[in-house]
Amino acid sequence: MLKRFEFQVPKSERRTRLEDFLFNRFGELSRMYLRDVVKGGLCQVNGRFENVGYRLRPDDFIEIELDPTRAGAMRPENIPLNILFEDADILVLEKPAGMLVHPTHRDKSGTLLNGLSYHLNKNGGSNIRPGLVHRLDKHTSGLMVIAKNLKAHRNLASQFHRKLVEKKYLALVDGVVSEEDGTIERPVGRFEDLKLWDVKADGKNSVTRFRVVERRYAASMLELEPVTGRTNQLRIHCAAIGHPIVGDTERGGTAHSRLCLHAFRLSFRHPTSREDVRFESAMPEQFLFDSE
């Protein structure tokens, strides 16, 4: 349930970014959730909608509506994590299919954030808050990078915003895709009455590149690259060209033990060393079922 909060900015926080101001007051909530609240039009500064990077002035009046129950995201839980890389600034892991990245109204534990909160603070000392800079859907598996401090979070968030991060997925789709490669362009929006994201005439422009990796008797393995990052974009675009992802029964895909969508490659510039780094993850075994 949304709750309303009001603040007047003190002189001591002159020039503070709106995002940082909110995180200092709602540190138990994830930074990504707070960013979504601002972007979603639930936060006003002096009656105006500002972006997360807005520099505050003394006596600015902030009004915000958010869900305090999302605080469960930071409750530490000893959940096994498949960590591929970790240093003082970032952590790269492979999220399993079926795990939520952060809690919802119905699921308040067992999420990736719960596990990260435990892992990053299990040895005591300073309280490290996991910084989410991107997401994967619950039913999608694969690589994610997590920021361990504010500097790394800002740097990675900027790279994602400027489309400097390479993200590629493997998807097993129904049917034999005839083209070797191509681009899917369909506007994506939310149908409020159905509570469903899908192709929508007045939706946001959405672009996905694809390449055929392998063809089987009744299925194809595709490499997908989301040029834009809309909700459920890859699932929607594959279904839109008549090749729904295996396991995506909501959009006509063949029933399977899981959604056959996996984020297998992630490349970016390390926020501190400035070196280009690249991580890859093997295709899940469930993608190897015999389609013949």
Catalytic center residues: 137
For the record, the structure tokens of 104 come out as 């919802």
| Three-state SS sequence of 143-210 | EEEEECCHHHHHHHHHHHHCCCCEEEEEEEEECCCCCCEEEEECCEEEECCCCEEEECCCCECCEEEE
Q: In what order do the strands lie in the sheet with 3-8?
A: 3-8, 61-66, 43-45
Q: Say if residues 95 and 139 touch (Cβ distance below 8 Å).
A: no
> Under the phi-then-psi rule, with left for phi > 0, alpha for psi from -120 to 50, and beta for the rest, what region is 41?
left
Q: Got the DSSP string for 74-132?
A: GS------EEEEE-SSEEEEEEPTT--SS--SS--SSSHHHHHHHHHHTT-SS-PPPEE
The conformation of residue 292, written as its DSSP 8-state character, comes to -
Sort 90 into a burial class: Cβ within 10 Å, 0-12 / 13-18 / 19+.
buried
φ, ψ at 163 (rounded to 5°): 60, 40
How many residues belong to the chain? 292
Question: How many CA atoms lie within 13 Å of 64's alpha carbon, on the beta-carbon side?
Answer: 29
